[in-house]
Amino acid sequence: MPDFPRAHCNLGNALAEQGDFPAADAAYNQALALQPDFAEAHKGLGRSLMALDRPDEALDHYRQALTLKPEDAQTRYYLGEALRARGRLDEAEAAFRRAVQDKPDFAEAHFNLGNTLDDQGRLSEAEAALRCALQYRPDFEGALYNLGNVLRAQERLSEAEASYRQALAIKPDMEQALLNLGVTLTELGRYGEGEAACRQAMALKPDYALAHSNLLFCLTHNENNDASALFAEHCRFGEQFETPLRAHWSAHGNRKDPERCLQVGFVSADFRNHAVTNFIEPVLAELKSHQTLSPACLLQPRRGRPCDAAPARTRSPLAPGGRPGRRDPGREDPCGWHRHPDRSERPHRPPPATGLCPQARAAAGELDRLPRHHRAAGRGLLPERSFFPARGEFDGQFTEKIVHLPCCSPFLPSPLAPSVSPLPALSQGHVTFGSFNRPTKISASVIALWAQLLVAVPRSRMLLGAMRTDGRVEQLIDEFARHGVVKERLSFHPRSAMTDYLELHQRVDICLDTFPYNGGTTTFHALWMGVPTLTLAGGTFPGQTGAGILGHVGLPASITRNTTNCRARRRPGGRPSLLAGLRDELRERL
């Protein structure tokens, strides 16, 4: 029966299930040649065309199928998938909503509706849709995983952890869930567990660059890892993911003419409302004014955050060469720390010199390892003064030659900053310590040291900003209590707008730094608001950021290299007049 259209359509279905999409395409077309109004064949052909990367044709056939059979929720779902793949999120959302309207128990449609809302940054709506999917299919591991991502994006980390663990209970070899579990545990300050989860993901997928990348970030926060171990782990990353690409590197074709216009490139996901803009804006503004320099920027967008989220003053310097990257909705979303283009997909030789990200990363970090190349660093960040380690101590933590500059960092204070207030201790009658570092950096050891200072300084208080909306505050209260600091001496404030954040410094006398991963942007902001920071300098690059900044503004007494000396630094808390005088001059120093 060569003229039997349903047989041709079912043959297409069978071939598609085997992955033979060109043959399936031919079978569906034969069915439609015999019966042009065959809705099922239009639907099947649409799916094959999507697999053959012909989405526009697929959309046409899905729409023809719906014209013939408008109540078909499955076809409506496939239409939504195709629209989402094309980045037409509003239309995709409408298609998924119609699918669940026609078939309320359609778990997969609820799932992809949630994903589409997540793509748009509508997190609470995405959460509701994913929970609907799980209501109809409780063992839907993909929905549990994506729900964990949405909860994590809302900083509900304990709930996110539980959702990832549920997904892994159903599918233990789900490496993406292991990775994001590891990232979440790191953010919760449980570095050992975070490391274990990342290593499990790497064991399942040895070429999982993103898991290895986030492992490095986790290791930099764990005080049990010394500099040599960190550097060795970073070098392993380079050997695995960079060395195989070297054969594809072409020679640099740049002319050696010193008078030519120099092309300066910037690659970042953080050209937006992010701390990095405080450091890069002054550089871009300066480069823009030079006729012999041509800056070009690659803006790598992040999920739910378009490139134009950057402040207008940042976009302006980027205008001559700024160009946005494109996110493929089909790719796994990068997670964790400063996100970056996947270097495993860019087998090009790096440039002959790189700059140093102001928010210092560990050892060679995520920046490409560049043997016989150069890295620019301020004297403060790789210091050489008497109160710092001897010059050359950090050379073993880099594969580049260090070029020392006379500056510490280019930093642009916020135009929203209020004026410096009088020292709070003068009117309050007690010293208030403060911290505005992200909670990820606040480990048990950090709390133990801070608590010792609070106990040693009578009637002192502690203000902690940038708090998440999950249960982290209760955990911190319990941890401080174990060291003799009752909750009445603590105040917690959520992450807030820049003006509110800076105004909180008017209630703080002295900031306390985290370790082994120091603060950077927070230390600069505190200095601008007249608040000095006590920092414990470590033996790794991220552990020297605070010392670099404070040393550069002439505050060596705020730097210590061991916890015993750090406890001794409490003396300024008992000398309000000294702190008041310092507060009045810090902004000018910075």
Parallel, antiparallel, or unpaired for β 461-467 and 262-268?
Answer: unpaired
Q: Which two tokens stand for residue 427?
A: 């009117």
Contact by Cβ (8 Å): 299, 318: yes
pLDDT, residue 301, reads 54
What are the φ/ψ torsions at residue 405 (nearest 5 degrees)? -110, 160
Specify the 3-state DSSP secondary structure of 72: coil
Q: Which two tokens stand for residue 17?
A: 């299930």
Q: Which two tokens stand for residue 383?
A: 């210091």
Specify the 3-state DSSP secondary structure of 128: helix
pLDDT, residue 586, reads 95
pLDDT, residue 166, reads 98
Residues in the chain: 590
Angle at 72 between CA 68 and CA 76, to 5 degrees: 100
pLDDT, residue 486, reads 96
- C-alpha pair distances (Å), 373 with each of 1, 363, 376, 400: 71, 15, 10, 5
Tell me the CB-side half-sphere exposure of residue 312, using CA atoms within 13 A.
0
Contact by Cβ (8 Å): 414, 503: no
Report d(CA 31, CA 2) in Å as an integer.
Answer: 10
Peptide bond into 301 cis (omega under 30): no
Contact by Cβ (8 Å): 275, 521: yes
Contact by Cβ (8 Å): 152, 184: yes
- C-alpha pair distances (Å), 223 with each of 194, 345, 361, 504, 542: 14, 33, 15, 29, 11
What are the φ/ψ torsions at residue 402 (nearest 5 degrees)? -85, 130
Contact by Cβ (8 Å): 491, 461: yes
Specify the 3-state DSSP secondary structure of 361: coil
Report d(CA 192, CA 198) in Å as an integer.
Answer: 10
The pTM of the whole model exceeds 0.85: no
Determine how many CB atoms are found less than 10 A away from the CB of residue 211.
Answer: 27
pLDDT, residue 265, reads 80
pLDDT, residue 242, reads 82
Specify the 3-state DSSP secondary structure of 583: helix
Q: Provide the residue-wise pLDDT of the chain in tens; the chain has 590 residues.
A: 999 999 999 999 999 999 999 999 999 999 999 999 999 999 999 999 999 999 999 999 999 999 999 999 999 999 999 999 999 999 999 999 999 999 999 999 999 999 999 999 999 999 999 999 999 999 999 999 999 999 999 989 999 999 999 999 999 999 999 999 999 999 998 999 999 999 999 999 999 999 999 999 999 888 888 888 888 888 888 888 888 888 888 887 778 888 888 888 877 766 666 667 778 888 888 888 888 888 877 665 554 444 444 444 444 444 344 444 433 333 334 333 333 333 333 444 555 444 444 333 333 333 443 344 556 565 555 444 433 444 556 667 777 777 766 676 788 888 889 999 999 999 999 999 999 998 989 999 999 999 999 999 999 999 999 998 777 899 899 999 999 999 999 999 998 988 999 999 999 999 999 999 999 999 999 999 999 999 998 888 788 889 889 988 899 989 988 777 665 555 555 578 889 999 999 999 99
